[in-house]
Structure 1
Amino acid sequence: MTLLTLGANAPVPAGDLSVLIRHGSLSGAEIDVSAFLVTSAEKVRSDADMCFYGQPSVADGAVTLAGSGNGETRFAVAPSRIPAGVEKVIFTATIHENRATFGQLADIGVDVSGVQGQIPCAGMTETALILAELYLRNGAWKVRIVGQGFNGGLPALATHLGVEIADPAPAPASPPASTAPTPAPNTVNLSKVSLTKQNNAVNLKKDDGRFGKVRINLNWNQKTKKKGFFSRGSSGIDLDVGAFIETHDGKRDVVQALGNAFGDFSRPPYVKLLGDDRTGAVSDGEWLEINGDKWSEIKRVLVYAFIYEGVPNWQETDGVIRILVPGQPEIEVRMNEFGDRRAMCAVARLENDGGQVRVTREVTFHTGQRDMDEAYGWGFRWSAGRK
């Protein structure tokens, strides 16, 4: 198999495409991979043409961020749905908050439906890279490996490609008499909020109280143990996400894979678990969805993670919960600060605070659901369950 080198191009298969970026990982730093739909001027038509963690699907699904984890990021591209006027789809990688440089990686691999390329990174001092571009030439789509680097991370790269960035407003010395202006609707918020022991809560506000589809992702270090010389079989950890939910009428419910209690998005409890990854093969982990348009009917949600199989050691799992609310900064809570051996971790509380969503970091450990229930006073009746 021939790997495309920097500047090389090749045709890609006809039809829908899968794009896999193998970027590896950096100690203490996050790598974000994004895609931009650009015109002949190498600029987006609007901020709606940027596909990234805060906007995972663009152009009616023409480009979708399909998942990330274990040092890889995947996109799904439907060339037939790419709008007229868009001449390229540019794939980029950036280091969150410029906490490292790409020179700490050996290389980055690009795979577009089997057409592969490689970008050597040794010696790079940049924190942002244009990796590759899909472009239409003589009626056929091709991929070119670019490897262009520059500094400034995702905000600088997005601005370079024509995206208007909403700068976070500084906190006022005293509460203003009137509500501070919010960013214009055509700006993109690239910020992330990491809840820690010192800064453990954040409030999210929408004037109409409708928050859209709130997506909660659990991901972890899905290490595998090889079972043979050529085997890829695994005996890793099965880490599950779940939630306790209480609506304003006092009804309480549990959503989790254990007991096949997958919930419901359109009806109470307005929380749904999207399947159950038993093998660790799904690179973007497990997902809960909350119907944020029904937030007025929800009183509180307790999000937790549970080690269903494998030896409990939270520090080794490097687990993280990400809370994605449309139009709001991504919120993350990490569970790797402790080497606790109890299988249950209460990760975060989402509470209805006068119509706002107040997210509070918990990261407390328990022997199981019953123990966690007693600690937080939910009052469920528990019996043995299985998946």
Structure 2
Amino acid sequence: MCTVFVSVDPGSAVPVLVLAVRDEYTDRGWLPPGRHWPDRPGVVGGLDLDAGGTWLAVAPGAGREAVAACLLNGFGHTADPQRRLSRGGLPLIAVSGQPVDQVERYDPFHLVVARPSGVRVVSWDGSSVEESELPAGLSAILNDGPEGRRSSAACPPGILATMNARLARFRARLQAAARPEPASGPPEVAWGPWLPIARGDGLPPDDPAALIRLLTPPGGRVWGSVSLSLIALSREGIRYDFGAVSEHGPSPRVGLETVLDRTVLSTSRERTPMDKEPSAESLAEMGAQMEAWLVARGHSPSIPASTADAPKWQRDMLTVLSAAEAAGVLRKCPHLTPEPQPAAVMAEAPDLLLCLPCYSEVLPRRVCPDCRKPSGSASLEGGVEDVRRGPLLIYSRMRCAQCAWLKSPTGPEGTFGA
């Protein structure tokens, strides 16, 4: 039972605001927002590990209007199982500016497509498509459509009552609060009075009106709110704040982090470790540091190889990495400074630079880029890690043992540097 609130104010410096809560089975695997799709390097979104799509995607713009797309499941007639396509591909299609073809192959959905110039909702109930433009003011989109007006007959009465309670409570709370105009700064400053409301407004997760919800049926899968997204769209750019629901106690916790902040494009972007040209001495010193670090972790010593000889997985990483750097949205851990220093980049998140200690910490949580399932281990005996070493960066791909053997004719590539 996902919920999206959209505020449209054409006269505001930030004309479109989106508040989106994702409800899902809590054991369904996912990754936080990033550039997870090499064929769409300009798209940022969370990754669903089951089907490879997303529930929400944004495209910063890069010379055109920024756009965000959010997906809600709908009610109605389901698609033919033999021809069914995953609905998680719809936000990726929408932010790429492509039309949604073969709609009959999707289960019912509501797709919210937001730009600074306006917001439209595409709804499909398995029988017909309906498109609508959201008016100025505050609108709500639920699993039974904009303002709960579509497919209500197919919605179970219990779920309908819960959606109506949530809508009544939080529409009134958001309308009573001052509308923010998010700019640069921490989420608490940018979103002002909206933030505590978006985080649940103090309601326990079992309250019928709760925005941050948790349902634990006897002997069944746990269903609840797993993440919160806050998006601000202006003519100058886009801001995207994201947080996972970490606790479902009496007061659920949602810690927000800024994924994208392109709201001030005229100022200099934050510098990255690739912004300063290192000296030959610095390169040699960093190369020695990375080599010693890799060997200490059990990797083979590096062997000379040119960039032209890089495998496809490394070239795909470089494509996304370069696009993110050019767009000014390259992410990095807080320990990296503008000075040249060793860093690591992972195949499953090629727009994120990590210092070596942080890279070590995330190893147990890594995901196989082929099947998008856990790699199995942070050690070389479990997940199989392929490594290439450049002058400043360690490029790493860790696949689960099954993919490493099945997808390489001669078995795993092993651990080699370049």
Q: Does TM, normalized by the shorter one, top 0.5?
A: no
User: Quick check: which one's strand share is greater?
Assistant: 1
Question: What TM-score do the two structures reach when normalised by structure 2?
Answer: 0.29
User: Quick check: which one's helix share is greater?
Assistant: 2
Question: What TM-score do the two structures reach when normalised by structure 1?
Answer: 0.31
